[in-house]
Structure 1
Amino acid sequence: MSIKYADIIVDISHENLDKTYQYSIPEELLAKAVIGARTLVPFGKGNRFIKGYIVNISSKPNWKVEAIKPIHEIITDALVIESQLIHLAYWIKETFGATMNDALKTVIPVKKSVKAKEKKSIRLIAATEEAHEFLELSKKKNNRGRVRLLEELLKEKELDYDLAVNKLNIARQTIKDLEHIGIITTDAKRLYRNPVQATASNRKDIILSPEQKQIVEDIINKYREGIYTACLLHGVTGSGKTEVYIEIIAEVISQGRQVIMLIPEIALTYQTVMRFYNRFGDRVSIMNSRLSQGERYDQYLRAKNGDIDIMIGPRSALFTPFEDLGLIIIDEEHEGSYKSEHPPKYHAREVAIERARLSGAGVILGSATPSLEAYYKALQGEYILYTLPTRNGDGCLPDIWVEDLREELKKRNKSIFSIRLKELMLDRLQKKEQIMLFINRRGYAGFVSCRSCGYVMKCPHCDISLTAHNNGKLVCHYCGHEAAMPDKCPSCSSKYIASFGTGTQKVEEMVRKEFPGARILRMDMDTTKQKDGHEKILAAFSNQEADILVGTQMIVKGHDFPRVTLVGILAADLSLYASDYRASERTYQLLAQAAGRAGRGKLPGEVVIQTYQPEHYSIVAASHNDYEGFYRQEMNYRKMLMYPPAAHILAVLIAAKDEGKGLLASELISGATKEWLSAEGFEKETVVIGPAPASLSRANDIYRFMLYIKQLEYRVLIGLKNYLEGYINYSEQFNGCTVQFDFDPMNSY
């Protein structure tokens, strides 16, 4: 029997994940030696026993066999959270294609320990009589610092350390001296940075509708019986999905277990967090990219120490180190941000289901516009499907108008506002009601081109068009390259060079010109760069400090403004022009979500969808709030062209600084792919596209090539990925190239 070796990490901190030590696995421990297993190993020259975790197992020794020490023991007395997360990292590596190191750094996301915040206090430990004697002695020696400190401590018994140093001007050395003598002691209490700055709780009892109540009872009953099948909650906008989540969370917490609630970062607002804080108090914490390093570190410590029960956050919150995780909720599960753009390119939905399996936990996916993948699995019986088809309480779904912009042009209306939208905006401004205008574009305008020769201003590093901004700069939204707006065409010297397209800044200008008395706010990437930028704009609009909110997709994500009675979607089909098979799905989701912002209070709402393609099925379905109709038509298209979820795609991205080397590497991978498919008997049922330059063929002076492989069975693509990983590792032709795998990509390359 060949000897097996284990790579072991002995320090679970982010900066030490690269440092693995190889040990041999004794024959009697082979059955227990699995990825994530906790071990006791001899370490260093003194062979002292320390604990570690297995992160890889192989048959190949990394150095002299006689120098490799054996594992002393595999600890199986208790499952610790580190073991579970390492096991999850290995599953991610195997399922999505990445190095184990990248996977570990994903599931153990705290980059480094930061300095702990402490609250220090000084306490008198000497007897009162002894302290008085020492005070008199200090007075005689004219030691003023000691006198001030002792006089204060004889009155208070305990004193805040910072107060003593900063207000009483007592030297730190004086404190150390009295501590050394045994008159006083200093106590330090760890302070955790808490990102939830909440006011006093004003909890309101939730009154569920019969439909909500039935769903809550059914999920809770299954949970109590230990049935942890994933659920999909398909509820129209404003149907009360959050109330359902809260009631189920309360049940899970009552059983002493913890909850992870994933929300897209763009929708993670103060308004959202407060709904949970008002119910569960300071047992709630949040995780997002705007927290400081110290705040992030403290939230992981609080979770690990059992100081919180609920973690709310985007994708990364999925790896919160809860010891007894009972439930994972993914709200707005259709959001593309749940798919990682960096290796490992995992999807939070699939990882959540695997983590729940390891923990014995439930999973709830919720959306008004579910992803086709989730809805397909629900119809196939993999998920339990629950529906909330009507709005909760006083709200009712808005009336939706579809305006054909081609007809507007025939009427000589060259404004960005259709006649109907302009009339409705005037009506709402007179009634003191609020309006939201949505456009799925950022910046002052689109690309800059010459009307004389057709030349387009492009980024010299990324080969994509530059975007014009209000400050006269042209900006590349991939690498950040900036250029000045030219006076004449660099190609033909014509003066007819200008920006085309419409962005949020331009819309804001046109609104001000058309409705001079209106108070306007704009919300996009540029106006929300500062910390709390989202909150300030949303709070101002919520407080009715503005009549019109102009914004990109971040204004349509789950926000609830009762005074909004009109939503204008200015260019509904912009997202249809994307070179991406998900373009129709994204368009439907954006339109339905944007329309869902209107009429959420007692006042009825209206939505105006402006488009050049009113007959497109995604726009027709969104205007009728017909998700099932859209799903049927879109799935026919996906089945015909072998796109997810009807089939699966493995995207292989090859990148290199040398264009020739990148091209050769892509051709070698294509050849190896076809050979493997032929040898395994999958050639006829698999479609291989490419290799070809990526649509973004050069980024930051790195050339990019793509290969797409379509297959009905995910397991076949996993087998191919495993084969290609080995092929790439053992061939020198790939030196100087990077190869990334992406299963069922969310974006085209």
Structure 2
Amino acid sequence: MKIARVFLKQTNKRIDRAYDYRVPDTLADQVVPGVRVAVPFAQGHRVVEGFVISVGGDSKYTNKLRDVLQVIDAQPVVDEVHRKLCLWLVKIYDCLFYDALALFTQPVRVSRETNEKGEISFRPYHKTEKIFRITQAGKTAKTKGKKMARILELLKSGPMSASELNAALQHASDSRKRLQEKGWIESVEGSQSQKAAAEILPLSCDRHVFQSIQENLSNAGTQPVFFYQKDDDLRFDLFLQAAVEVVHHGKSVLLIEPEINLLKKNAGRFKSIFGELGAVYHSHLKISERYRVFHQIQTGSVKVVLGTRTAVFLPFKNIGLIGVDEMGNGQYISDSEPHYKLPDVAAQLAKICSAQMLISDPIPSVTLKWRMSKNQIVQATAPSDFSPVDIIDMKREMQRGNLGIFSHLLEEEMNSALNRKQQVVLLHNRLGYQHAVFCRACGETVKCPVCGRPMKTDQTGILICTTCGEKRPFPKTCPSCGSNHIKGMGVGLDQVVEMIQEKWRGHRVVKIDAAAVRQKEFDELCGDIRKADIVVGTRSLVRGFPFDNVGCAAGVLIDQDIDGNAYHAAEQAYRLYRLFFEKTNAVCRYVQTYNEMHPVVEALHQSHDDPFYDDELKYRRSMGYPPFGHVFYFEIFGEDRAQVQKDSISLYHALQARFPQWSVYKPIFGEIRRENHQLEYRIMMKAPEIPPVSNGIRRMIWAGEFERLASKITVVIDPVLD
């Protein structure tokens, strides 16, 4: 008799474990690890969906077992490698098994059906999709339409779906329809045929650089290999060349980009190289398109995928290389359960399947630099040079009577650039009105005496640390120099835009922020930017937009970023501003600041960042922050603020009792969450390792310490906070 161990689709973490079920002889050949099944559960014999994690021959509950009722999948939807990865996610991120499993099965989700007799059954998603291929007439056709010609060129490499064509060439629908009418392309049902790997030709990239990457990949063993390259196109070509080499050796490749905009920008280049062997995968695809890619990978007809972070959960076989571009990008962190980090998941997948990992970032993170210094990551190329940034001391501007947000020098440079018919691009990474409390005389920011993070003011004017919750009265004089020029200040992006429109009337001004990126297509925003005289934006400016003729680029006020609330605020600010200046490539580049001696400002000005990284590592070592420890945020949220606050206090005491050896900080009000406007409190804890905390949290769940609270709870590890 076969016994299946089954995880159930349910929402209670206390009962989230594998249960034993008897396999009827009629289903013995179908019930294998990796398939989903229907099973009875609880006293009412409620029929639920389950996932078979393993199959054995015995159970200590033999006399009490119930039968598997239905096998939903004809073949496993998750193979052994990805089952191990799924269990690792559950263990590390303390999520429900089915929350982790959903990442792997999203393209092949299950629908629940009830017949006229009230009997429940389950059906897996299955839908064929139209793909487009070039006809014999189209292979010799000539057209003056640029988009039509580009579509024909792409389809000569192999069939593509509508979404793949749109990813490679924005707004291609009308041109595609005209080509169909001419009989130059046709639509067919079903999947693509496989293209021989031998037809993929090597790329023409920097052979010296690529040779260094290849040699390091060959000698690195299980260690990741990192290479520097600040040019986006050249960096992507190096990833492509590495993928070509691996595919020629008969293995699969996964290339991951942090954002859909970057992916769409590179999709045409990718498809022209790999043709039918390559597929593009991201969250904007329809479910039918995701299903097709999933099925093609499962059957082996697709060997290379260019995708965003969710592509790491696709059912690759024989993975040889995982490439991760812009390693430190915040888009790699999931904002829903489980709150995984793509680089960590990719590294774990590479470890499980003995694949090589190739990573890059134009400006590496502090942790990445530290790991390279400890030989945990192999550095294949030397760092890129960058041009220095000029610093404008806003204290002097104030002393000269200029109390505005634009210095006289910056105004002059902006006018000069506009007169030369060049663009002005300004970075101001704050929306709305946010306070920073600092002294205008000496530039010192008021910091929390408990944890060392900058303090803000709340609505009552009291100083509050949003990291650890410490509160202090607003000081009458500066703690550093004794000046009475200490006050809260905050200027948001909208105010900056209004001031620019007032000062530079008649010039075209474009605002680029997260809302603009959500509301418009990438190519439409690119068009807006090309037509603009002055572009003003937040960190969204560095999301792959074209800046071809920039005469002046400036950070309006960097202080709001270098003194942010997160433990890695300085690192985020340095990486953001340096990337901003690299992307805009302006002749004149400036940063306005009240604190010209800050390590971030000095690093930008001196175009030498080793001292900055060294100082940041010393700070993190003293505070137990990554890479020398880990930060855990327990987020408690719900609709009733009084209840959420009460539950956060209860959880705070429970965490202190469970983890007495580590620092647990008292709960603070976090934010109003976007979903249903729920209120959130946060508890921060620091610990040296993740597994002991995960094990402790699991014991708390089994003991019902979370379930007894009315509010919802989620845990985020090493969060990225704005």
Are residues 273 and 419 of structure 1, via their aligned partners in 2, closer, same or farther at CA, if it must alter by over 3 Å? farther
Please identify, of 318-327 and 579-588, the stretch whose mean Cα deviation from structure 2 is larger. 318-327
Aligned twin of 2:45: none
Tell me the distance in 2 between the aligned counterparts of 1:20 and 1:40.
13
Tell me the distance in 1 between the aligned counterparts of 2:308 and 2:603.
29
Q: Conserved in 1, the CA contact under 8 Å of 2:36 and 2:52?
A: no
Aligned twin of 2:590: 608
Residues 14-33 of structure 1 aligned to structure 2 (within 5 Å)? 22-23=20-21
Residues 473-492 of structure 1 aligned to structure 2 (within 5 Å)? none
1:196 correspondence with 2:165? yes
Tell me the distance in 1 between the aligned counterparts of 2:610 and 2:353.
33
TM-score (normalizing by structure 1): 0.67
Aligned twin of 1:622: 604
Which of 506, 515, 523 lines up with 1:535 in the alignment?
523
Are residues 669 and 55 of structure 1, via their aligned partners in 2, closer, same or farther at CA, if it must alter by over 3 Å? farther
Looking at CA atoms only, which structure, 1 or 2, has the larger radius of gyration?
1
Q: Conserved in 2, the CA contact under 8 Å of 1:8 and 1:23?
A: no
Are residues 56 and 215 of structure 1, via their aligned partners in 2, closer, same or farther at CA, if it must alter by over 3 Å? same
Aligned twin of 1:37: 33
1:713 correspondence with 2:682? no
Q: Conserved in 2, the CA contact under 8 Å of 1:8 and 1:56?
A: no
* Structure 1 SS opposite 2:583: coil
Q: How much has 1:59 moved relative to structure 2?
A: 14
Q: Conserved in 2, the CA contact under 8 Å of 1:86 and 1:107?
A: no
Residues 11-410 of structure 1 aligned to structure 2 (within 5 Å)? 22-23=20-21, 37-38=33-34, 54-55=52-53, 65-69=63-67, 81-110=78-107, 113=125, 115-118=127-130, 192-197=161-166, 198=168, 206-208=204-206, 210=208, 212-222=209-219, 227-236=221-230, 240-265=234-259, 267-268=261-262, 270-281=264-275, 283-390=277-384, 397-410=386-399
The share of aligned pairs that are identical, in percent, is 22
Which of 689, 699, 712 lines up with 1:738 in the alignment?
712
Q: Conserved in 2, the CA contact under 8 Å of 1:268 and 1:313?
A: no
* Structure 1 SS opposite 2:163: coil
Are residues 213 and 676 of structure 1, via their aligned partners in 2, closer, same or farther at CA, if it must alter by over 3 Å? same
Are residues 285 and 230 of structure 1, via their aligned partners in 2, closer, same or farther at CA, if it must alter by over 3 Å? same
Which of 726, 736, 739 lines up with 2:702 in the alignment?
726
Q: How much has 1:106 moved relative to structure 2?
A: 2.2
Aligned-partner residue type, residue 589 of structure 2: V
Tell me the distance in 2 between the aligned counterparts of 1:39 and 1:299.
19
* Structure 2 SS opposite 1:268: helix
* Structure 1 SS opposite 2:631: strand
Aligned twin of 1:7: 6
1:644 correspondence with 2:626? yes
Aligned twin of 1:511: 500
Aligned twin of 1:695: 670
Are residues 427 and 661 of structure 1, via their aligned partners in 2, closer, same or farther at CA, if it must alter by over 3 Å? closer
RMSD: 4.4
Q: Conserved in 2, the CA contact under 8 Å of 1:655 and 1:705?
A: yes
Tell me the distance in 2 between the aligned counterparts of 1:36 and 1:329.
32
* Structure 1 SS opposite 2:704: helix
For structure 1, list consecutive stretches of 5 or more residues without a partner in the other structure: 11-17, 27-34, 45-50, 121-189, 392-396, 448-462, 466-498
Q: 1:332-360 CA deviation, whole Å, 9 max, x = no partner?
A: 11122212222211111111011112222
Which of 600, 603, 617 lines up with 1:635 in the alignment?
617
Are residues 500 and 407 of structure 1, via their aligned partners in 2, closer, same or farther at CA, if it must alter by over 3 Å? closer
Aligned-partner residue type, residue 37 of structure 1: P
Aligned twin of 1:129: none
Aligned-partner residue type, residue 704 of structure 2: I
Q: Conserved in 2, the CA contact under 8 Å of 1:565 and 1:598?
A: no
Are residues 303 and 239 of structure 1, via their aligned partners in 2, closer, same or farther at CA, if it must alter by over 3 Å? closer
Are residues 549 and 725 of structure 1, via their aligned partners in 2, closer, same or farther at CA, if it must alter by over 3 Å? same
Are residues 536 and 302 of structure 1, via their aligned partners in 2, closer, same or farther at CA, if it must alter by over 3 Å? farther
Q: How much has 1:191 moved relative to structure 2?
A: 8.4
Tell me the distance in 2 between the aligned counterparts of 1:563 and 1:335.
26
* Structure 2 SS opposite 1:98: coil
What is the number of residues matched between the two proteins?
A: 577
Are residues 695 and 705 of structure 1, via their aligned partners in 2, closer, same or farther at CA, if it must alter by over 3 Å? closer
Q: How much has 1:556 moved relative to structure 2?
A: 1.5
* Structure 2 SS opposite 1:637: helix
For structure 2, list consecutive stretches of 5 or more residues without a partner in the other structure: 10-15, 25-30, 41-48, 111-124, 133-158, 173-200, 436-456, 460-487
Q: How much has 1:638 moved relative to structure 2?
A: 1.0
* Structure 1 SS opposite 2:391: strand
* Structure 2 SS opposite 1:526: helix
Q: Conserved in 1, the CA contact under 8 Å of 2:256 and 2:309?
A: yes
Q: How much has 1:572 moved relative to structure 2?
A: 1.4
Q: 1:165-204 CA deviation, whole Å, 9 max, x = no partner?
A: xxxxxxxxxxxxxxxxxxxxxxxxx98443333479xx99
